[in-house]
Amino acid sequence: MPEEREHLVTAEEAGRRLDQVLAACWSDLSRSRLQKLIAAGLVRAAGRPVRARDRAVAGARLDVTLPDAEPSTLAPEAIPLDIVHEDEHLLVVNKPPGLVVHPGAGVRTGTLVHALLHHAPQIATVGGAGRPGVVHRLDKDTSGLLLVAKTETCYLRLVAAIARREVARTYEALVWGTPRAASGRVEAPVGRHPVDRQRMAVTERGKPAATRYRVLEPFGWAAHLECALESGRTHQIRVHLSHIGHPLLADPVYGGGRRRALNLPQTVRRLIDAIFAVLPRQALHATRLEFRHPETAGVLRLEAPPPADFAAALEVLRRSAVGSASEPPSACPGDPGRSPSR
């Protein structure tokens, strides 16, 4: 049955946008969710549907209807899962590289969502029908921890917590070159590339985004970094690191492919060949998640070490006597390199 809620507008709330008033009233409902409910006519004042830009009137009663989630029509598939944490409200999986999170263009079966539906059928009515239960996403070739809600209430609260930056997401990355500063912060808006719509870019028309990084191990022409998200834009870490001249190893989309090694000494090129032989995908792993459980209020701190391919590439770097001998150029001709500014 749909859930019904109501709120009586106070004098302090008068004059504010209705979606802002309701979002402040119920932390488990994001503004985007409320705007969708308003657009669907499910938020009413005095029995009449309201608009998101309408202003609140003191003493008015706002009625909100939360419909049952649209069930997923995807078929469950018995795909093994590496579950790091699970309880009745949520679970955290360690996604392997190469596994697509949810169906999309050209991928209809064999995704993480299909596996989740087999393991926890109740998520079929949680969140979006095409990506049930999935609170945030990882790229196909990015490995690591991914958060999944098993109930609609938990889903809404976790999404709201991410929006409030209350979910700490930490990654490990292998990049070209070593940043001059041992730690830093990249703040640059991220949006669709103005020409290649399959890529993202730093662009004035993008959404605000910030990434913090720390050098864990410098190798001269390469480095092992820790990266923390302050926002969650598509491909954010990949775009931001490329933007500052340090794209991920084995990420040709954002300037981290083999072409970057053309001007390096032969000894270093042989080392790069050895790394690419064991790491056939972008060197990015979601290694830690820390957040407050939306139901128990306890703090969860979860970790997953990088998978074998990432670990093997890092070991090649550590063993190499030439690892700190050469510093590569910041970009190679023809590489995407730095993202366009508009």
Alpha carbons 95 and 118: distance in angstroms, whole number:
16
Alpha carbons 334 and 265: distance in angstroms, whole number:
19
Token reading at 225: 């970094």
Other Cβ atoms less than 10 A from the Cβ of 153: the count is 15
Strand partners, 212: 185, 228
Go through the chain and tell me how many residues it has.
Answer: 342
Residue 102: closest CA among 71, 80, 133: 133
Quote the radius of gyration of the chain (alpha carbons, Å): 23
Q: Which pairs count as long-range contacts for 151-155, CB under 8 Å and 24+ apart, including other chains?
A: 151/89, 151/122, 151/126, 152/69, 152/125, 152/126, 152/127, 153/28, 153/294, 153/295, 154/89, 154/90, 154/126, 154/294, 154/295, 155/126, 155/127
Q: Which residues are catalytic?
A: 139
